[in-house]
Amino acid sequence: MTGTIPFGRLPGPLSRLLLAGGRGPGLAAARDEAGWSGPAALADALALAVWEDAPLAPEAAAVAAARHAGRPFLPPETNRVVAAVAASARPAGPEPYFDRLAARREIPKMLAYLLDRHRKDPADAGILHRLSCLAPMADAAGEGALAEVAALLADLAGPLAPAGALVAGELSLLAGRTDAAEAHLRRSLAGLPTAAAGLRLAEALLRQGGREAALAELAAACAGRPCDVLATTRLYDLATGLADRLEPLPGPVAVLLYSFNSAPLLARTLEALEATDWAFAPAGARIVVLDNGSADDTAAVCAAARDRSAGRLEVVSLPVNVGAPAARNWLAALPPVRAAAFAAYLDDDALVPPDWLGRFGAAVAAMPGAGVWGSLVRATDAPRFVQSADTHLLPTPRGQDGESRAFALARPWLTTADWGQYALCRPCASVTGCCHLFRTDVLTGLGGFDIRFSPTQYDDLDLDIRQLLAGRPAACQGHLTVLHAKATGAAAHVGGKQYGSAFANQFKLHHKYDDGQIEAAARTAFDALAADLAGKIETLAGLGLIGPETPEAGEGERGV
């Protein structure tokens, strides 16, 4: 077994990137940071990890190969595959047709184009990598696309075979074909042992009910990749039972929704809410829906839900739309809500599972000092990707990006497919407002949501920053998955009807706090995350699942 990384001895920016964790761009950022500020051995390990997570990506292979050329660290077989992938890259040329398809998100035609490119040049690993990244979006192209690309990659020969088998296993896992995933991943491990293949194999075994075998594979992968905070936390949650824990909330809860002209979505949300197991709210629960000046069938939807609720649901109707922050504050100010111990806000397009309160109860028990508890969110139209989970705050020098932003958001789940690596319960800086739980006294003590962020966007992040400044981190309960019926913030994208107000609210948020406050907020979150990780490492070491942490590893960011 290998000891864990001494985070407390690393430079602050590198330590924070590693604590946030992730793969794809997030892991690449940590690799690049380590390349100039961290120990050479860690930079090597991160270069290898980035490549393992994208084994057919020529760019990732080229970075690992370049580091190996300067300071050999790759085992011979790994070096052979890395060199083959790096050498397969073709000079990038203009692809106006593909670019037009991408702009219109025509996934089937994009896949067909790449498959045709592969037939013409089967040795180009870059095309294979693009196919593997596009295939998880196959909901738009039909289930056959995942299987087709997986089969193509599984049939690769020569030095690319282990890499192809690894990605074939990942795609099969995403498609729910766990038997095929296990077979591909075992073949990849036989040809080229990698921590990435071990992590995916653990998930495949877990989904087949093989908990003990999954724990063994996950522990072995953590030993091979001690810098992977997500894997270590995942191992802890599975080994201790936190991943499956359900507990009642220690006090009454008010479930709060507000809606404006979204009657069909609201109806689905209320139907899902009706299936809640209220045994996890033994002290009592109420539902309050605020009709935020709707002109559609929202009133009828609310009335029907109230009639079915046996007195549990109350409706508040406003004559005009007051915006999201004011609606949230209105709900929080109602006497029955103020009397509850907890307030849970749901978006009007959020679909909760029946045990959602029990999942939150487990998170409250695990992290009672958190200021807010959130969930993992998936979009109903992109179920193989995480739409939102834990978010981390990275201070940036003011004006570094030319837009006077005070911080960046580290969101390790963004743009990468999900194989279960974010099914974690841990501290963070912020959680999504799609589904989050507060202690009502903490919520009202902070003064509620800032109405300067009307009509919507960033009021929940602003409140989370205020909680951090009060010494309370957020907590993400990644074992609770909530489905979101529409893309978060889609209307706030460039060209959307809310783009102007969202941009203005972002500007307000970045100028509401000075650099010292942002650094203090980030430190609160990362100190909590480092302490949480150190405790989990100690427990896992006691169970014999990982090597012991070095003395400095649990010191968080002290001295950086």
Token pair in block for residue 110: 């994009």
Considering the domain boundaries, does residue 323 fall inside one?
A: yes
Q: Are strands 253-259 and 342-346 parallel, antiparallel or unpaired?
A: parallel
Report the residue count for the chain.
560
Dihedral pair phi/psi, residue 345, rounded to 5° = -95, 135
The widest CA-to-CA distance across the chain, in whole angstroms, is 72
**Cβ burial 243-260 (10 Å sphere, 16+ → b, else e):** bebbbbbeebbbbbbbbb
Evaluated on CA atoms 189, 146, 412, 81, the torsion sign reads: positive
- pTM attached to this predicted model: 0.92
Considering the domain boundaries, does residue 199 fall inside one?
A: no
Considering the domain boundaries, does residue 14 fall inside one?
A: no
Say which DSSP state 499 is in.
Answer: H
Distance (Å, whole) CA 451 – CA 458: 11
Distance (Å, whole) CA 100 – CA 117: 16
Closest CA to 141 of 107, 167, 171: 107
**In the block, which residue shows the tokens 């498609």?**
175
Distance of CA 356 to the CA centre of its chain: 18
Q: What confidence score (pLDDT) does residue 263 get? A: 96
Closest CA to 250 of 368, 376, 355: 368
Considering the domain boundaries, does residue 360 fall inside one?
A: yes
User: What's the domain range around 413?
Assistant: 253-523
| Tens of pLDDT, residues 502-512 | 889 998 999 89
**In the block, which residue shows the tokens 């998170």?**
363
Total Cβ atoms within 10 A of residue 88? 20
3-state secondary structure of 439: strand
Distance (Å, whole) CA 475 – CA 489: 22
Q: In sequence order, which residues have a C-beta less than 8 Å from that of residue 82 and are 6 or more positions away?
A: 51, 61, 64, 65, 68, 74
Q: What confidence score (pLDDT) does residue 503 get? A: 86
Q: At what angle do helices 298-308 and 263-274 cross, to 10 degrees?
A: 10
Degrees to nearest 5, angle at CA 468 with 463 and 473: 105
Distance (Å, whole) CA 546 – CA 533: 13
Q: What confidence score (pLDDT) does residue 138 get? A: 65
Considering the domain boundaries, does residue 181 fall inside one?
A: no
DSSP 259-328: ESS-HHHHHHHHHHHHT--GGG-TT-EEEEEEEES--SSHHHHHHHHHHHTTT-EEEEEESS---HHHHH
Closest CA to 328 of 373, 293, 361, 292: 292
Evaluated on CA atoms 400, 401, 407, 408, the torsion sign reads: negative
The CATH number assigned to the domain holding 265 equals 3.90.550.10
Considering the domain boundaries, does residue 354 fall inside one?
A: yes
Q: Are strands 407-410 and 285-292 parallel, antiparallel or unpaired?
A: unpaired
**For residue 446, which amino acid is it?**
L
Percentage helix, strand, coil for the chain under 3-state DSSP, each rounded to 5: 55, 15, 30
Q: What confidence score (pLDDT) does residue 384 get? A: 84
pLDDT tens for the 560 residues of the chain, in order: 345 666 778 888 999 999 999 888 889 999 999 988 889 999 999 999 999 999 999 999 999 999 999 999 999 999 999 999 999 888 778 899 999 999 998 888 899 999 999 999 898 999 999 999 888 886 554 567 888 899 999 999 999 999 999 999 999 998 889 999 999 999 999 999 999 999 999 999 999 999 999 999 999 999 999 999 999 999 999 999 999 999 999 999 999 999 999 999 999 999 999 999 999 999 999 999 999 999 999 999 999 999 999 999 999 999 999 999 999 999 999 999 999 999 999 999 999 999 999 999 999 999 999 999 999 999 888 888 899 999 999 999 776 555 678 899 999 888 778 889 999 999 999 999 999 999 999 999 999 998 998 888 899 999 999 999 999 999 999 999 999 987 444 444 445 556 678 889 998 999 899 999 999 999 999 999 999 999 999 999 999 998 765 433 333 332 22
Considering the domain boundaries, does residue 156 fall inside one?
A: no
Distance (Å, whole) CA 129 – CA 257: 42
Strands (E) in 129-192, as ranges, are none
Closest CA to 509 of 465, 560, 472: 465
Closest CA to 248 of 357, 110, 395, 399: 357
Q: What confidence score (pLDDT) does residue 549 get? A: 52
Q: In sequence order, which residues have a C-beta less than 8 Å from that of residue 490 and are 6 or more positions away?
A: 496
Evaluated on CA atoms 405, 410, 413, 415, the torsion sign reads: positive
> Total structural domains in the chain?
1
Considering the domain boundaries, does residue 401 fall inside one?
A: yes
